[in-house]
Amino acid sequence: MTNVTRDNAIERAGAYFDDGSFRHDLSDLVAYESESQEPSGAAELARYLNEAMTTRLAALGFACKVYANPSVGAGPILIAERHEGESLPTVLTYGHGDVIRAQTDQWRAGLHPFRLIEEDDRFYGRGTADNKGQHLINMGALDAVLKVRGALGFNCKVMIETGEEMGSPGLTEFCKANKDTLSADVLIASDGPRLQPCTPTIFMGSRGAVSFDLCVELRDGAHHSGNWGGLLADPAMILAHALATITDARGQIRIPEWRPDSLTDDIRSALRHLPMEGEVGPSIDKDWGEASLTPAERVYGWNSFAILAMKSGVPEAPVNAIASQAKAACQLRYVVGTNQVDILPALRRHLDSHGFEIVQIVPHDRGFFDATRLSPEHPWVQFVSRSIEKTCEKQPHVLPNLAGSLPNDIFADILGLPTVWVPHSYRGCSQHAPNEHVLKPVCRDALTLMAGLFWDIGDGPFPQV
């Protein structure tokens, strides 16, 4: 009988997609212009929680409360709880209702960031992938279990924040102050992409990220290159040479403190057979990055430095003048085994040792996410993996950590939880870019996988840690 009712819950989750209800609900969520990076979006962030989320979760039997963010000016945080029994396990899940800047004028004709557009096997709209669609899928799966079983069979807490795209300001302080409220046995949440669209993915942490500007400011105003060329130092040239000391010509990091010590045999083993090229995305440049590592090790087990943008003068309308300043926006994505506190000091020491004292390091305002990782052998990881395999009859890809960054350090280090993420998007989804979208087959598949997982948690026995 258990298999029959589990199957019914999975069928119910699939029907939620097939009858158009998921599309309708996702369209409603996308319509909230919840840009946390724009001051004008503050009211919309609160409206997303108070209207869209509270209404939906209350209908599932959750008691909801929206909290002011302890960081002044940052978006509010929703905590919802459904308590079914003192002896039952508690699952905390998470999502973020804020989206990256809309970039409205850069979307292709026929699309709009805050209108859900369906084309072939895709739903387009800001937040479809990051992260509205993903937490909607998990709520839809919870609903399917409730409708079939009449109860979850476990306690559930939901956190929806509205500042993740700003580095989750205030979330650390909030979780420290509300540890009892947020106590749980495990975090099971969804963000980021699958490794390949057709195969479910599990990851247990994320790389950290530190973003900063490198600036060279030499004088006020630009000066004619004919009259002053050869007499005035060129800030762009100085900056280019400084940047060239950070990596070699193939992007291998030269700062010793930026080279991690955590690519151990067990992590190499977990990454060994992961496919890095597939149905979507550009071809990998095999001669880029750390030469001694495989592509999977480079992106999931190592650090990467990127120059996100550079500017000197007026690139869109250059003139015959030596610029007064140059700036590069830079980022280090880093894994466990890198000392976050020493990242920028190490860069300062490195630049100074190469004679570039003139180059300023200006940290970005957004917060930093620290690196986290959980062993693939952890009981909760094994439980989730078995459940997913039972539903879709294929083994999921298991990553020690996501290549991108999430506030997972808050759940792992402050709340002390094992963290298991089951992403519902794919790497070609254009998150943080124009034309963001999700794949409809992945959404439907994810609904059924999560319904099976939530059913199995309620069915027990749950992992003993």
Q: What confidence tier does 365 reach under pLDDT thresholds 50, 70, 90?
A: confident
Structure tokens at 353: 């040792």
Same fold, 2-206+372-459 and 208-268+285-363: no
C-alpha closest to that of 100 among 433, 429, 407, 448 = 433
**Confidence (pLDDT) at 360:** 98
In 10 A of CB 73, how many CB atoms? 11
Tell whether the model's pLDDT for residue 218 goes beyond 70: yes
**Confidence (pLDDT) at 341:** 94
Do residues 438 and 399 touch, judged by C-beta distance below 8 A? no
**Confidence (pLDDT) at 446:** 98
CATH superfamily of this structure's domain 2-206+372-459: Zn peptidases (3.40.630.10)
Write out the DSSP string of 213-248: EEEEE-SSS-EEHHHHTTTS--HHHHHHHHHHTTB-
For the domain made up of 208-268+285-363, the CATH class stated in words is alpha beta
Q: What residue segments make up the domains of the chain, in order of their start?
A: 2-206+372-459, 208-268+285-363
Q: pTM to 2 decimals?
A: 0.89
Per the prediction, the chain carries an average pLDDT of 95
Which of 66-80, 198-212, 272-286 is predicted with the least confidence, judged by mean pLDDT? 272-286
Tell whether the model's pLDDT for residue 119 goes beyond 70: yes
**Confidence (pLDDT) at 41:** 87
Q: What confidence tier does 367 reach under pLDDT thresholds 50, 70, 90?
A: low
In 10 A of CB 416, how many CB atoms? 10
pLDDT in tens, 220-269: 999 999 999 999 999 999 999 999 999 999 999 999 999 999 999 989 99
**Confidence (pLDDT) at 390:** 97
Q: List residues bridging with 312 in a β-sheet.
A: 326
Q: Specify the 3-state DSSP secondary structure of 332.
A: strand
Tell whether the model's pLDDT for residue 1 goes beyond 50: no
Tell whether the model's pLDDT for residue 391 goes beyond 80: yes
Radius of gyration of the chain (CA): 24
